[in-house]
Amino acid sequence: MKKQKRHSTHARHPGLDPATGTRRGESIRIIPIKSGRFIINYLSLFGICLFFVLSPIISKVPGSTHPVVKAAFISEAKLPILTGVRSPDITAQGVFVMDMESGSILYDKNPHLPLEPASLTKIMTSLIAMDHFQDDSILKVVNGQSSLGNTADLIKGDELTATDMFYVLLVPSGNDAAVTLAENYPGGYRIFLEKMNQKVAELGLKNTHFVNVSGVESPDHYTTAYDIAMIARNALSRQRFASIVSTKNITIRSLKGHLYPLISTNILLGQPGILGVKTGWTPEAGECLVILAERDGHKILLSLLNSQDRFGEGEKLVNWAFSNFTWK
């Protein structure tokens, strides 16, 4: 087969130098005329035209840009401005960090990935219960220590006020308190669970589904870092919830005289600026955490799902967020 010759896309003219467009041996020259102006040969003219076409582009100085901070909801509050501190390495599979006042999203990682929430479930449990029970409502412990998972060792048949039951639910993360709240709800456990999923829909959340009230493992029991942060944000609008989740330890007395010493599962409580909220863990869910933190009058909310070090990573993200953003 004959080797084909390559053909240039440029037209050739016999006797012309293809590099300059002039006859071979001829230089590019300027020809004077009577008026003192000059006629430039066609190649030079092309160069001048090209300069004027490109000069507006060349002379334009690129403007500095600030990263756009997304918002989880609309607000006219002061916005956090990124300053450029490198974010820490995070093992958590789902992460969401937001400014509470403006709704600006400060950091996220797989925010809409469905993952098991473990005892973060109890944030929604408390929402449903607080919407129904009065502070002094009397609740009877039915299952007590027979509840699955972590319990506060409530005694079967004991009676507590709703407020004290909320402390048992949220401070030591008692599954027995979660079950007690659901069983004392009108219609019982099944209706309470239905209300939890109805609340999910009311909040406009698309990737959360609950099949129990305490967070014990189930493949059909899931949420996302974004969704659980929105649930926590809603719960924190209730003063009694915000007060309880900031409690490091407390001892309550039941209506039958039994004492229950309660110690928070959130070891970050007590550190400057850490205001709550809730922890969770199961072998499948990994380490989970929601934190509300405040510095210089600015509050941030963060959620971590399936972390290998929830407290360490939570602390890193809090420090990073307040170092990496200024509010203007």
Separation between Cα atoms, residue 325 and residue 328, nearest integer Å: 10
Candidate list 104, 119, 147, 264, residue with the active-site label: 119
Active-site annotation holds for 119: yes
Is 173 annotated as catalytic?
A: yes
Cβ proximity of 125 and 245 under 8 Å: no
194 CB contacts (<8 Å, ≥6 apart)? none
Long-range interactions of 69-77: CB distance < 8 A, separation 24+: 69/104, 69/105, 69/106, 70/104, 70/105, 71/102, 71/103, 71/104, 71/105, 72/98, 72/103, 72/104, 72/105, 72/226, 72/229, 72/230, 73/103, 74/103, 75/101, 75/102, 75/103, 77/101, 77/102
Q: What is the DSSP letter of 15?
A: T
AA letter at 293: A
Q: Helices 188-202 & 175-183, crossing angle to 10 degrees?
A: 100
Residue 94 and residue 285: Cα distance in Å, rounded? 11
Euclidean distance between CA atoms 75 and 166, whole angstroms: 31
CA 308, CA 287: separation in Å to the nearest integer?
Answer: 6
Consult the annotation and say whether 278 binds a ligand: yes
- Annotated catalytic residue within 126, 147, 173, 254: 173
Closest C-alpha among 20, 10, 217 to residue 121: 217
How many C-beta atoms surround the C-beta of residue 105 within 10 A? 18
Residue 3 a catalytic site member: no
C-alpha distances in Å from residue 75, one per residue of 62, 81, 323: 30, 15, 22
Complete DSSP assignment for 127-167: HHHHHH--TT-EEE-SSGGGSSSS---PPTT-EEEHHHHHH
> Of 102, 104, 122, 246, which one is the catalytic site residue?
122
- Which residues belong to the active site? 119, 122, 173
Binding-site residue numbers are 278
Binding-site residue numbers for substrate are 278
